[in-house]
Amino acid sequence: MGAVEPQVVVTDAPSPVTDGFHLVIDALKLNGIDTIFGLPGIPITDLTRKAQAAGLRVISFRHEQNAGNAAAIAGFMTQKPGICLTVSAPGFLNGLTALANATTNCFPMILISGSSEREIVDLQQGDYEEMDQLAIAKPLAKAAFRVLHAEDIGVGVARAIRAAVSGRPGGVYLDLPAKLFAQSMDAEAGRKSLIKVVDPAPRQIPAEDAVQRALELLKSAKRPLILLGKGAAYAQADADIRALIERTGIPYLPMSMAKGLLPDTHEQSAAAARSFVLPEADVVMLVGARLNWLLSQGKGKTWGGKDAKAWGAQKFIQIDISPQEMDSNVRIEAPLVGDIGSCVSALLTAIKAAGTHWAKPPAEWLSAIAERKGKNLAKMAETLARDPAPMNFHSALNVVRDIIKANPEAILVNEGANALDFTRSIVDMYRPRKRLDVGTWGIMGIGMGFAVAAAVVSGQPVIAIEGDSAFGFSGMEVETICRYNLPVCVVIFNNNGVYGGTDVNPTGGPDVAPTVFVKGARYDKLMEAFGGIGVHVTKPAELRQAMEAAIRSGKPTLINAVIDETAGTESGRITSLNPTAKKK
C-alpha cells in the first residue's frame, strides 16, 4: 500500500494541521487495515464516523464482546490483526473477554478503547467512566500500550500491530485517552510520524539440526501420527502441509479448527479412529497444536498411560513458533521452533533430499487404522440414516453434513455442548479455515460475532450451528446480521435448555430448574423482527429445505430446529470434567 495522506482539517492556522482522530485512522489505513468492528459512544463516536468517511468499513455491533469476537476471528482468517473499537470502562470491559479469548487462542486482534482523563483517573477524582484500563488489560493481553500524544500515534499503532501478529499471535490492548483525539499537529509532521510496519510477522526459520532431529525421530517411528492444530490452519501453509502428509504417508488427526486443512474425507485422516491412534502411536508430530486439556495434556489413558497422570509410550515432535511451549506438559524429544510454513517446507526439502530412502509407515499400522475407521464410519452411517421423531442431533446434522458437502466454500461457525461435539464429529470440512468454533476455552458467545466477521471478511455464505443456550450469549446480533444484510444462516438446535430441558426443580417450587429455558421457544421470530427470514422446523426434510433456501438466497436466515430434549448428554463430550454430570 502507498503512503496515506493525512486528512487535512481546515482551521485558521497558517499551515495545514491534522488531529488525533485522523492520525489513528491514517495509521490503520497505512497498515492495510480496512475494517473496524466496534460500538460507538463517548469518546470514540466521532472516530467511527470519521473512519467510515475515510473509507474504512465500520461494522457496529450491539455488544462489545461480539465486536471483539468478530475482530479476533477476522485476525485468525486473514493474519492481519482484527480491530475492535470500544468506549471507556464498561465498553472496554465488555470487549475484554474477547481480548482474553483471542490471546488464549493465539488470534491476532487489537482492542482499541477510548479512556478518561489520565490526570483524574490516576488521582481517582471521579471522571466519566473512570478506570485504569491499561492496568486491567495487561494480564489478559499479549501486550498493552497507551498513547498520550498525537505524535506517538504512529508508533503506538505500529507496536500494537507487531505485537498482535509476530511470533505467537495474540490480543493487544491500545488505550487512547479522550484528549488525544482532539490534539492537533502539523499535517506534514503527522504524516511523517506514521509507520508502515515492514514485515510485521517475520518468518522464523528453524535450525538445521532441529529439522534433522525431528526427521530422524519421525523416520524411526513404527506407528507415526501427525496432529494438526489451529496454528497450522492459521499459518496458511496449506499446500506444503498437505504435501508433507501425502509424501510421508503418515496418518493425521485434525484438531477442531484444523478440520478441512486437508479434506476430512482424505484417506490418511485418522479422525474416525481417534481413540485408537492416540494411545497406539509411538511418535506424534504436533503441528501448531498445544498439549493442553483438549489433548489430555499428552498424558493419561487417552495416550495409553495406565492412569490419569501416567505418561504413554509416545515420543513427541512439536512444531511451534513459541519456544516456551515445548515441555509444557510432557517431554518434547524433538522441538522444532519456527513458523509452520518454514518448518514444514524445511522438512519437505530434507525428505526430498533423502529421495527414495523415505519409507511410508508400516502397513500393519495403516491397516489397523483403516479397519477401526471403517467400523466407526459404518456405525456412524447407520446412526445418521435413522429418522427418529422428534429429530435428534444426528438426524439434524446429517442434513448439515450434506449442505456443507454441497457448499464447501461455506464457513461453519459452531458453539454449544452437544451441538458442538456432534457437529465436529459428524460434519466433514473440505477447505482450510472454514470451521470456526469455541476454541481453547470452550467459550460460549462467539457465535454471532464470528458469523458476522466471517461473512464480512470472506463474502462467503456462513452457517452457524448453535445450541439454544450458546446462541443466547450473542443472539441480539441477529439485528446486526440483518442490518448489513449478511449471508448468514443461523441454525438453533433448540432442546429447551442448557444441554437439554429435562431437569426439574426438586423442591416442586415455582422456579424451573437452572438449566431449563422457556419450552417451545420460537427463536425464528427474533430474526423476523428485523426483516430476516425465520423458519421453524421439526423434521430433517424441512431443515434441508430451509438451509438450501438460505444458501440460495443469501438472505439472513434463522432456523429454529426443534431437537429432542432428551437427546445428548450433560456437558456434551466433556462430562469427565464435570464429575457430577448426569449420564443420560
Residues contributing to the site for ligand ADP (CB under 6 A): 105-106, 168-169, 229-231, 234-235, 255, 257-258, 288-290, 292, 294, 320-322, 325, 339-340, 440
- Only one of the segments 17-25, 42-50, 424-432, 494-502 lies at the binding site for ligand TZD (rule: CB under 6 A); that segment is 494-502
Put the strands of the sheet holding 334-337 in their side by side order. 252-254, 224-228, 283-287, 315-320, 334-337
Which of 334, 443, 448, 462 touches ligand TZD by CB under 6 A?
443
Which of 108, 200, 449, 467 touches ligand TZD by CB under 6 A?
467
Residue number closest to ligand ADP, CB atom: 231
Q: At its nearest, how many Å lie between ligand ADP and the CB of residue 94?
A: 24
Q: How many CA atoms lie within 13 A of 372 on its CB side?
A: 18
Q: Residue 31 has which C-alpha cell?
A: 497498515
- Only one of the segments 6-14, 45-53, 162-170, 465-473 lies at the binding site for ligand TZD (rule: CB under 6 A); that segment is 465-473
Q: Decide: 19 and 26 in contact? Cβ < 8 Å.
A: no
Which of 232, 271, 369, 419 touches ligand TZD by CB under 6 A?
419
- Cα angle: 12, vertex 18, 24; to 5 degrees: 155
Q: Which is nearer to ligand TZD, 303 or 422 (CB)?
A: 422
Q: Decide: 138 and 54 in contact? Cβ < 8 Å.
A: no
Q: Residue 244 has which C-alpha cell?
A: 508433507
Binding of ligand TZD at residue 523 (CB under 6 A)? no
- Only one of the segments 45-53, 260-268, 415-423, 477-485 lies at the binding site for ligand TZD (rule: CB under 6 A); that segment is 415-423
Measure the CA–CA gap between 204 and 222, rounded to whole angstroms: 30
Question: What are the backbone angles phi and psi of residue 88, rounded to the nearest 5°?
Answer: -75, -170
Question: In what helix (H) or strand (E) does residue 337 lie, and over which residues does it extend?
Answer: strand 334-337
Which of 92, 365, 493, 523 touches ligand TZD by CB under 6 A?
493
290 binds, among ligand TZD, ligand ADP, none (CB under 5 to 8 A by kind): ligand ADP
Measure the CA–CA gap between 458 and 415, rounded to whole angstroms: 20
Q: Which is nearer to ligand TZD, 18 or 495 (CB)?
A: 495
Q: Which is nearer to ligand TZD, 460 or 515 (CB)?
A: 515
Q: How many CB atoms lie within 10 A of CB 380?
A: 15
Q: At its nearest, how many Å lie between ligand ADP and the CB of residue 168?
A: 4
339 binds, among ligand TZD, ligand ADP, none (CB under 5 to 8 A by kind): ligand ADP
Q: Decide: 503 and 574 in contact? Cβ < 8 Å.
A: no
Amino acid letter, residue 438: V
Binding of ligand TZD at residue 69 (CB under 6 A)? no
Q: How many residues does the chain have?
A: 584
499 binds, among ligand TZD, ligand ADP, none (CB under 5 to 8 A by kind): ligand TZD
Q: Decide: 250 and 224 in contact? Cβ < 8 Å.
A: yes
Question: In what helix (H) or strand (E) does residue 245 lie, and over which residues does it extend?
Answer: helix 238-248
- Interaction site with ligand TZD (CB under 6 A): 416-419, 442-445, 467-470, 493, 495, 498-500, 568, 572
